[in-house]
Amino acid sequence: MNKNLILDIPQRAVNKLRRHLFPIDSFLTKVQGVIHVGANTGQERDKYAALGLNVIWVEPIPTVFDVLLSNISGIPNQRACNYLLAGEHGKEYAFHISNNGGASSSILDLAKHREMWPHVQFIDEIRITATTLARLVEVEQIDLNNFGALVLDTQGSEMLVLEGAVPVLKQFQFVKTEVADFDSYAGCCRVDDLSNFMHKQGFFIFRKSPFAKCSGIGTYYDIVFRRT
């Protein structure tokens, strides 16, 4: 068997396969809503709607954000916000836009991600001023009592987003994030870094599921943390 078989198909197809293998994340049945950072075009919108969840989508790329708005139009209790979230309010970043519909876009440069998905490249760059999740909650007047889960898919910058969320982090019961055990992006956090940080914030690993692996490089995981 080809150990790298999953890498021979486009990343978008890998994401579709991952959603098929884990159609309902068990923690979603335990919360009223989700704040999903790194929304892209809202691929999980129907799953969230089927569970009757309140949803805040956060997407930084203006053109992708427009598609997201169209995709969630008419879905009750789903709202989109056009922000880049990081660890500091007011810091400007060069945001690299990828050629796979923006799915691999990041404030970080590609590192070993190139080896796992060589067809993925950065094709454009825009300057964006970031804010923090804590400030977003304040500015957009989000009542966190209506949520309970935070989902992150920000391509290597998850730790920065969580650092900017510390003032409100303990108002979430669950945090789900995508993270690798290698340098997928330059300077990205790894599984151990993220786990140690979340432990200090009072969260432990509730579920850990690998979804992409390449011999000699490492493994990508979806990890769900639960607040103790």
Q: Is 75 helix (H, G, I), strand (E, B) or coil?
A: coil
Per-residue pLDDT of the chain (228 residues; tens, 9 = 90+): 333 334 444 545 544 544 444 444 889 999 999 999 999 999 999 999 999 999 999 999 999 999 999 999 999 999 999 999 999 999 999 999 999 988 889 998 999 898 888 999 999 999 999 999 999 999 999 999 999 999 999 998 999 999 999 999 999 999 999 999 999 899 999 999 999 999 999 999 999 988 888 888 889 899 999 998
Report the alpha-carbon distance of residue 79 to residue 158 in Å, rounded. Answer: 21
Q: What is the CATH number of the domain that holds 32?
A: 3.40.50.150
Domains identified in the chain, total number: 1
CA distances in angstroms from 228 to 81, 147, 204, listed in the order given: 29, 17, 7
Neighbours of 94 (CB within 10 A): 11
Distances (CA, A) of 180 to 1, 17, 81, 89, 210: 23, 18, 27, 26, 9
Domain that holds residue 27: 5-227
Count of helices and strands (H, E) across the chain? 8, 9
**What is the distance between the alpha carbons of residues 27 and 17, in angstroms, rounded to a whole number?**
20
